Each structure stands twice: as C-alpha cells, then as structure tokens.
Chains A and B, each alone.
Chain A
Amino acid sequence: MSADTYPPQSYFAAGYGPRAWFLTTDHKRVAWLYLVALTAFFFIGGAMAVVMRLELATPQGDVLTADVYNRMFSIHGIIMVWFFLVPSIPATLGNFLLPLMLGAKDLAFPRLNLASWYVFAFGSLFTLFAVIAGGVDTGWTFYTPLSSLYSDSYVSAAAFGVFIVGFSTIMTGINFIVSVHKLRAPGLTWFRLPIFVWTMYATALVMVLATPVLAASLILIVLERVFGIGVFNPELGGDPLLFQHLFWFYSHPAVYIMILPGMGVVSEILPCFARRPLFGYRAVALSSMAIAVFGFLVWGHHMFVSGQSAYAGVVFSFLSFLVAIPSAIKVFNWTLTLRKGHITFDTPMLYALGFLGLFTFGGLAGLFVASLAVDVHLHDTYFVVAHFHYIMVGGMVTAYMGGLHFWWPKMTGRMYSELWGRIAAVTTFIGFNLTFFPQYVLGYLGMPRRYHAYPAEFAFWHVLSSTGAVVLAIGYVMPFFYLGWSLLRGSAAPANPWRASGLEWQTASPPPQHNFARTPTVTEGPYAYPEPEDER
C-alpha cells in the first residue's frame, strides 16, 4: 500500500510504518489491530474444527487418538469463544464504528483501548503457548474435578491466558459504556441511537459485570491445582458443582456477549437494503437490554442433570423461556421491517437474511433444551452442539461477515467484488446448514458430544456434517482473498455506497483521522428511510 493511494485527510495517511499502527490510539486503527489478530485466531480455531470433522467422517478413530481429539475440541472451544467470538464484533466493528455513530472523535479512553489490544495479544498468545506445549483436555468449560484434580494437561497455563484476556474484555466494556454516556453528539438522545450502539452498550454491561466472575472461577481453579485449596474438592468439604455455578454465571451471560452485537449489525443492514425504517425501534432497543438482564438469571439451565434441586431446575427453566420473549420481539420486528420494502440482495443483505433464518432456527432449538424433561434426553448430545453453533456461528459469525462487508467500504475506502461476495455468502449459508443440521438429528438419535469414534449407524449424518464443514470452510476462506484483493486493488468507495442513513456514512470513506470535519448535530432518529405510507 503506497502513501499516494489514499486521500491525505484519511486516517490511513497518519502513517504507514509499524509505529503508526502499534503505538496508535486511533480507535479505527485499534479496530484493525483486532481484526488482524481475530482473523488469525478464527482460522486457527476453524482449522481445528476441520480436523475434527475429518476424524468424524468415519465411525472408527483413525486420524486422531481419543486424547488428541479431547485436546483438539478443548482448544477449538477456548479459541473460538474467548479469542474470537467474545471480542469479534465489539473489538473490530464496534471499535471502529461506535465513535463514528456517536459523532465523537474517539472513544472516551483511547490509550486504554490500545492497552486492551496488547493485553489481548499477550493473554491469547500465552494460551497458544499452552496449546503448543501440550494442550488442554478439559473442554472449554474447565469442569471440576477433572480440571482441578485429575487432568495432567496445561490447564493452569490456559486458564491464566483466558484470565488475562478477560481484562481486555473489561477494558473494552468500560470504554464503550463511558463513551455512550459521555460522548454523544449534540442532539443525539438515547432514542436516536442506532440499534448497533444499543447492542454494544448492552454487551458492554454484560462484559463488565460477568467477566470478573469468570476471573474468580479461573483463579480458584489455578489455586486448586497449585496449592490444593480444596474449594472444589470434597475431601476438604469443597463442592465441584460450585464451579459450574460460577462458570455458568459468567458463561451464560457471555453467550449474549456472543449474540447481541450480531443483532446490532443486522438491525443496521436490514433497514438499509429494504429501504425501510426499522420496525418497532424502541422495542428492539429495549429488548437488547432485557436480554442482557435476563442473561444473568438463567445459568442453571446448563446444570439440569448436574444434580441441582428440581425446584431450582424448574425456576431456571421458566426464566430461560423468558429469554425467548425479547429474542422473538427482535425477530418479528426485523421481519416486519422487510414488509413492503424495496429489497435488494447485496452481499451484506444476504448475510443478514441468513442470520435471520439461522438465529431463529437456533433460538427455537434453545426452547427444546430449556425444557427440563426434553433436556434430560438431549443434554450433552450433538443437539446441544448444533443449537449453540446455530446461534454463535449461524448467528454471530454470519452477522460479523455481514457487518464486515457492509462497513468494508467505510473502513478501507475500497469496494469489493459484489459477485464474489454473494457467492461466498450463499456458500457459507449452504455449508453451515449442511454441517450443523445433521447434528440436530444426531443428537436427537442419542449421539453424545466429545467422542472421536461412534457406532456405524450414525455414519450417514456424520458424513453429511463433515462434507458441509468443507463447504463452510471454502465459504469462509473466499472473503479472505477477495477482501484482500479489494484492499490492494479495489475501486475507490464513495462516502455512502449503500445510500444508508447513520452518522458513519456522513463522513468520508475512509474517515479522516478525527472522524468528522466538524462535530455533527443530530436532528432526527436513526433509520431515516421512507415509511411505507410515503410511497402510496
């Protein structure tokens, strides 16, 4: 990339050397630092998934030993959850867009923002070291007493790395909350904020309040392994189940860290390509907050068969059903946004529509596993694996790709190949369903998760799933090439290629270093697209 390819006022022009990137406090550049790191982790974690699907293509264990397979799915989970999904949209698109959408020059704490990336890099590389040294075989959930008393793998090192990455999550969360409160442009009231900002705010709240509980449980695991403090050891009167309570008190809200940002992205894309204002704006905004709050009250639904009391199970089941209400509010409102719209199927829209279907499908499966009696049958089977992959991959990763394509012209000042974009979007949709729909069937038929070998009668569905994984992998690799090409050779993007509303589109592509030539004043709500009545 040479210096003369970008207009002098763009944020790229501030410098092209390593100092300009690694010592920057510009939120747009920090977003790029995260994007590069997360892309690397996405492909590492994805490669592990491909190896696992290769193993599962035949009933007998032939590619990996049982022990290596255990380490493989553990580190796949650890990388994908903590080093990709949790930071994915917030740290990349959120970092880039939040100040632009607020009409601000930067986040409230620019240096903290850069520090969060270094903390992330240190913690995640430390965990990678644990993987290279020998790996972890406990699953990403670190359940005791396996993780505390029995496992001889690198549990302490991996837990320490995740603990460190937690700090970067909290830093991002604090930065976002304070920025939304203190840096809104004149006239930008709370109910004029785009839904993307609302979901970032809700996500940040969960990040700040849930992550420390994960920190506490990881500290206790490490102390248990190093000093034998006994808090999860029945010999001293400790309780292994207590770990599950602590872990899911974090990890269930964390599931909403991994979906709320995706909901925010889709809420920006759908109105733009349907040329309609978002239907039920306030309901969608407040349902994000409701999801964040309910998320803290449902952790026990991971423990229906762990021996918690039946009364606790009933209460947690009921509360889990409540989460369906704000989720359904969103889905219905997104669908009604499309009504009478002038829909075009550009790449971001294809991803957003894919999200709509896959999220609904995964969410409805959530109702199955939230039902006490049904969950006894489905617990720890591939049904659960399919359920959360529909939400996290079908939902979150699809939204992430959609958002990346939607805002790519803004971030880079370049257009990408629309044809290749559509091909990749359709490929991932087909590949995803081919990979994970068979897993619903497998789970329902009784195939337990986390086994590297299985009875021959499951082979048909496993082969389908493994085939789908290859298609899905191709779908994810394609953007790497055509987006890379666009970065080097793409045609210049106008300020607003999609004719979208929103402050971020009112500045140049790529934006100038301080985002806006002068601080914008906001006089209307978001999604200023024509109402259906206007065109009668």
Chain B
Amino acid sequence: MSERTQSEAFAAPRRELAADTFGMWIFLASEAMLFGALLLVFLAARIAYPQAFAAASGHLSLPLGTANTVVLITSSFTMALAHVFADAGRWRGATAGLAATGALGLVFLAVKGYEYRSEYLEGLAPVLGAPFRYEGPAPANAELFFNLYFTMTALHAAHLLGGIAVVGFVLARWRRTAAAGRLRRVTATGLYWHFVDVVWIFLFPVLYLIDR
C-alpha cells in the first residue's frame, strides 16, 4: 500500500475521506444549533419590538453589508474551485484557490472592522462604560437590537477568523501533506467555509434588511 491513512482505524484513504467529510457534516449540524439558538433569541426580541427593531436596522450600513455579502459569496466560489482542483489533483490551482479564499476572508473582516468602528463612534456599541447614543423611537429596545447585532456578527466573525486560520494551516503544511491528506483537508475546510458563508446569508437579511 503506497497510500497511508492518518488514523489507524481506517484500511483505505477513500474510507477515511468519507469519514472526515461525514464528521464535518455532524460538526456543522452542531454549529447550526449554536447559531440557531441565537437566531431564536433575536426572533423573540424582534417579535416583541417590531417597530424599534425596524428603525434600528436602518442605522446599519447597507452598502458595506452588501459589499461584504458579495465578498463572502466570492470566497465560497474560490473555495469551491480549490476543491475541484484538489479533486483533480491539480495542486497549483488548489493552493491558489485556498489563498484567494483566505484573502477574501480577510477583506470581509477588514470591512466588518470598519463598520464596527463607525458604529462605535456613533455610540451604538456596548463597549465597557461607553454611553449608548441613539436618536429614534424606543432607544432601550434599539440598544437591545444593536447588542444582538454585535453578538451575532462577532460570533460569525470569530468563526470566519477560525476558517482563515485553518486555510492558513492547510497551506502552511501543504508540502508535507500527502495527496489523500490534501484532498481530505480541502474538503473538510471547504464544508466549514461554506457553512460560515451560509450563516452570513441568514444574518444579512435578518439584521440589515428588516424594513428596506
């Protein structure tokens, strides 16, 4: 046998690939419950205070949110390309796809950071001791909206940061990884990346598009 498996439990690399992929799906189901719980919390609050939430949603930057959506969807495309290349054994294309994916992830975080900064300067962020400044109906409920917005998008950003770190790790170890291992890693990382993308696809309309 020329091809070795990473875990002694498996007799063949193909079987290990199937197990890795399946394991990642189970993990994503777990992650879906995490974000699902927060979406439920948001939903409960939004049903309780529809006008306040709609008005507060209007204070988020639609251009930046839209731009970030485009960036993230594009990163999923480059990740999909990386997987197609890896599956075909075209390693140069696979690494290029991974690198582009990581770079686009960083762009997303940069834009998100800029957004956070302007919201902080406006006085909307729940930073230690900083007073909440908001001109609009029901400021207390609007504060709840912004706090939930920061919680959910920050948790998403943390997941994206984790994804970028994993992409970086896969690239850093690329030369020392056998062909079967490369495909396994690209497949698992890709699944995770697409999931983080899908979470944003939910967060964007739920947070930014309430009344527009």
Q: Which residues of A contact B (CB under 8 A)?
A: 99, 104-111, 170, 173-175, 177-179, 181-183, 208-213, 215-217, 219-220, 223, 226-231, 235-239, 242, 246, 249, 514
Contact A182 B148 (CB under 8 A): no
Interface pairs (27), CB distance under 8 Å = A106-B7, A108-B7, A108-B23, A109-B7, A110-B9, A111-B7, A170-B27, A170-B30, A177-B26, A178-B23, A182-B22, A209-B29, A209-B30, A211-B30, A212-B30, A212-B31, A216-B38, A219-B151, A220-B41, A227-B128, A229-B147, A229-B151, A231-B41, A236-B144, A237-B141, A238-B45, A514-B8
Interface check B110, CB cutoff 8 A? no
Interface check B126, CB cutoff 8 A? yes
Find A174's partner among B26, B33, B141 (CB 8 Å cutoff).
B26
**Closest Cβ neighbor of A167 among chain B residues:** B30
Contact B19 A108 (CB under 8 A): yes
Contact B26 A208 (CB under 8 A): yes
Contact A227 B155 (CB under 8 A): no
Interface check B34, CB cutoff 8 A? yes
Shortest Cβ gap from B38 to chain A (Å): 6
Interface check B140, CB cutoff 8 A? yes
Interface of A is mostly: helix
Docked Cα-Cα span, A183 to B148, in Å, equals 42
Docked Cα-Cα span, A249 to B52, in Å, equals 28
Contact A242 B44 (CB under 8 A): yes
In the complex, per-residue mask of B15-58: 1 if CB is within 8 Å of any chain A CB, else 0: 10011001100110111011011100100110011001000000
Contact B37 A213 (CB under 8 A): yes
Q: Which residues of B contact A (CB under 8 A)?
A: 7-10, 15, 18-19, 22-23, 26-27, 29-31, 33-34, 36-38, 41, 44-45, 48-49, 52, 126-128, 138, 140-141, 143-144, 147-148, 150-151, 155
Shortest Cβ gap from A95 to chain B (Å): 13
In the complex, the number of residue pairs spanning A and B with C-beta atoms less than 8 Å apart equals 122
Docked Cα-Cα span, A175 to B9, in Å, equals 12
**Closest Cβ neighbor of B27 among chain A residues:** A174
Docked Cα-Cα span, A388 to B44, in Å, equals 31
Contact A212 B33 (CB under 8 A): yes
Shortest Cβ gap from B3 to chain A (Å): 17
Q: Which residue, A173, A213, A216, A514, has most C-beta atoms of chain B within 10 A?
A: A216
Contact A106 B144 (CB under 8 A): no
Q: Which residues of B contact A237 (CB under 8 A)?
A: 45, 48-49, 52, 138, 140-141, 144
